[in-house]
Chains A and B, each alone.
Chain A
Amino acid sequence: MLMMVRILVVSGFLGSGKSSLLRCLLKDVRLSNARLIINEFGEVPIDHVLLRVAAERTRVLSGGCLCCAFRDDLSLEIRSLIDEMRVNGDYESQAYIIIETSGLADPVAIQHTLVADPVLRNQVRLQHIVVTVDATNFLESVQRFPEVQHQVVAADTLVITKRDLADDGVIETVLSTLNALNPAGLVVFADHGVPDVDLVDRTTQPGNLALRENGAIEHQSVQFVHTDHLVSGILELPREIDWSAFVFWLSLLLHRHGAKVLRVKGIVHPADSQHPVAIHAAQHVMHYPEHIQDTSCEARNRLVVVTRGLPPGLLAQSLAAFQSAACRL
């Protein structure tokens, strides 16, 4: 059986505590053989010094951003790390590569590199995207920097740092903003870099699709001064869907409105399948769908969507229209 190398992405805005979190993660025994790729925007890298990790396990890409300047470098770097792990015999079932992005990176671009690269897509599996959120200045930076908005929306887990430096009221607002921007994301706290949940074994799906179980969830939107507002919502799906019609709908939606569809994530139940299927898309990047064996998530026929200005109600209507077209075949 071919082993897939698991990739953990640690992202977050400048100064939001990525390195502290990483330092704590690296103490985990499961990551003792993990390789590390650190990307820094500045020309002179310092993060790897602060991390105090053995140099042979760490690659540094500095003077640009992984998501734009270094996309080819990133895939070459991952390939060479995988080769090295094979040679060293570290390439077993639990092989990990951790990527720390620069503070300005859009994690979706990194996802795209992993999904689109013809070699990598068969060797690595994006396990999890962790994004750190600085409680003290998140509310200001999310207004001013679209990078922050993108990072939050792309995250599987959001780690709030510097809780002790912020008022309770601020924390409340941060929590509600995060929930509105990324309803499918899990929000946890980290004090001095130590997260209060296990971040290593979490996967992008279906584990953290722990959508709130209180039934109807209204659409939420967050207004920004300089950019279009972000809208999130949950589309309730019929118990069984026509898979082909669903694929037509989603591929056309991503084709025409991909730039505005920041996230589609959820579990659907195709009528002709015994197992539910996990769906995971970010902008134009769609992950290969996967069957889920876990029966505990059967009830969750829902899709979480986060868009820039497209009303979730309209998406639901469009999805239903494609389904009804399939019934006429």
Chain B
Amino acid sequence: MCTLCAIMAEADHWSDFRAAASPSHHRHVSLEDHLARRGERLRDRARRARLASLILRPWRISVSDWEGGMYLLRTLTGKHGIAPNLQSLWVVAEELAGVPIDPLEPGYLAFLTSDAPSS
């Protein structure tokens, strides 16, 4: 648990698997190695947050990385929520959006493939 914010640490979720890490880095990691790869992890996490913002743009939800451990979701009206992994990210996003987010909805797919500028 984080003693400052009283948030319980979550078990490793499958979506946190990092394809770029070499296979030996998944089960047994030395502390030195863990620290040496901190930058890499944070960059990866920040990119995921940007990708999440893009994917959730139709619902006006922006996502930022919070200390490499949580995703912070915000709407234009100031509603916000936090999610430790992607599984809860979708739950929180649907709560904020007030509607289900369907990855198979044709209109949404059209948005994802459109050439709208990314910012």
A-to-B contact residues, CB < 8 Å: 2, 118, 243-245, 247-253, 255-257, 270, 272-275, 277, 286-289, 291, 293, 310, 314-315, 317-318, 320-322, 324-326, 328-329
- The 8 A CB mask of B66-96 against A (1 = contact, 0 = none) is 0000000000000000000011011100000
18 CB-based A-B contacts, threshold 8 Å:
A118-B11, A243-B18, A243-B20, A248-B48, A251-B15, A252-B103, A255-B90, A256-B100, A256-B102, A272-B19, A272-B20, A273-B20, A277-B17, A291-B22, A314-B104, A322-B112, A325-B51, A328-B115
- Compute the total of residue contacts between A and B using a CB distance below 8 Å: 97
A291 contact set on B, CB distance < 8 A: 19, 22-23, 26
User: Interface size on B (CB < 8 Å)?
Assistant: 36
Partner of B103, one of A118, A249, A275, A288: A249
Contact (Cβ within 8 A) B109 A317: yes
Given contacts A245-B51, A289-B14, 10 further A-B contacts (CB under 8 A): A275-B22, A277-B19, A310-B104, A318-B103, A318-B109, A321-B112, A322-B103, A322-B112, A325-B55, A325-B113
Known: A256-B101, A291-B23. A251 touches B112 (CB 8 A): no
Partner of B91, one of A248, A255, A320, A324: A255
Alpha-carbon distance between A118 and B101 when the two chains are bound, in angstroms: 29
Partner of B15, one of A247, A314, A328: A247
Alpha-carbon distance between A317 and B110 when the two chains are bound, in angstroms: 10
Contact (Cβ within 8 A) A288 B54: no
Alpha-carbon distance between A324 and B14 when the two chains are bound, in angstroms: 23
A286 contact set on B, CB distance < 8 A: 14
B-to-A contact residues, CB < 8 Å: 11-12, 14-15, 17-20, 22-23, 26-27, 44, 47-48, 50-52, 54-55, 86-87, 89-91, 100-104, 108-109, 112-113, 115, 118
A310 contact set on B, CB distance < 8 A: 104
Contact (Cβ within 8 A) A251 B87: yes
Contact (Cβ within 8 A) B109 A329: no
Alpha-carbon distance between A317 and B112 when the two chains are bound, in angstroms: 11
Alpha-carbon distance between A253 and B26 when the two chains are bound, in angstroms: 25
Chain B, residue nearest A327 (CB): B118
Alpha-carbon distance between A255 and B55 when the two chains are bound, in angstroms: 15
A277 contact set on B, CB distance < 8 A: 17, 19
Contact (Cβ within 8 A) B47 A318: no
B14 contact set on A, CB distance < 8 A: 286-289
B15 contact set on A, CB distance < 8 A: 247, 250-251
Alpha-carbon distance between A243 and B22 when the two chains are bound, in angstroms: 14
Chain A, residue nearest B48 (CB): A244
Alpha-carbon distance between A274 and B52 when the two chains are bound, in angstroms: 25
Contact (Cβ within 8 A) A329 B112: no
A257 contact set on B, CB distance < 8 A: 103-104
Partner of A251, one of B18, B22, B90: B90
B22 contact set on A, CB distance < 8 A: 274-275, 291
